[in-house]
Amino acid sequence: MTIRHVLLDADGVLQDLPGGWFDRLRPWLGDRSEEFIKQSWVDEVPTLRGEGDFFDHLGNHLAAYGVDVGVEELFAAVWTSIELVPSSIELVHRLRAAGYGVHLGTNQERHRAAYMRTELGFDELFDVSCYSWELGAIKTEPAYFEQAAALIGADPAEILFVDDRLDNVETARSVGLAGVHWTFTDGLDAIESRLGEHGVRVAG
């Protein structure tokens, strides 16, 4: 089938966390920042499926590390310190100008998703937004892409998915989507070339 829709990941594709997670957490966690966030990424998975509340998870995690900082304060300082990547946003508009449906496919718990919807303007930017917490599945699970295709209203073979994590791309392919592994640091020439391999042409 011909690709008619492009589903784009957020972190690493459309948005960036300047300085990275470890440096952002260092004022509170010091040398434990890497250990802290890596364990948090494991423990937060249920909240990415919409199970439980991320603020409860973060509060418990901070208590376990003996860190005395308000959950909402830390969340605002780290989790919402994201910035849009201008070249990637340009790509969204160029894909739409070329006639493609352009959609968001991201693993997010509800608080960060709400920030992205409103403060980053994703509700206006995308035709369909597929947040994992609303779908009840994450991108390493085939159910995520099955539900995303249903929301988009297209056959999986008509959708091309772009993500900076290869395991997510491979799961999308297992469901029948086309998949491209790319991060914004690879540059626009790279993504245009990889899209072109699937017959997707970006407007000039």
Look at strands 159-163 and 178-181 and give their pairing. Answer: parallel
Residues 6+ apart with CB under 8 A from 155: 1, 149, 176
Q: Output DSSP code: residue 194.
A: H
Each residue of 64-101: pLDDT tens digit?
999 999 999 999 999 999 999 999 999 999 999 999 99
Mind listing the domains of the chain with CATH numbers?
5-16+83-196 (3.40.50.1000), 20-79 (no CATH)
185-192, long-range: CB < 8 A, 24+ apart:
187/87, 188/87, 188/90, 188/91, 191/91, 191/162
Q: How far apart are CA 121 and CA 127, in angstroms?
A: 12
Q: How far apart are CA 168 and CA 200, in angstroms?
A: 20
Each residue of 135-176: pLDDT tens digit?
999 999 999 999 999 999 999 999 999 999 999 999 999 999
Q: Which pLDDT score is estimated for 203?
A: 87
pTM of the complete model = 0.96
Q: Which pLDDT score is estimated for 71?
A: 97
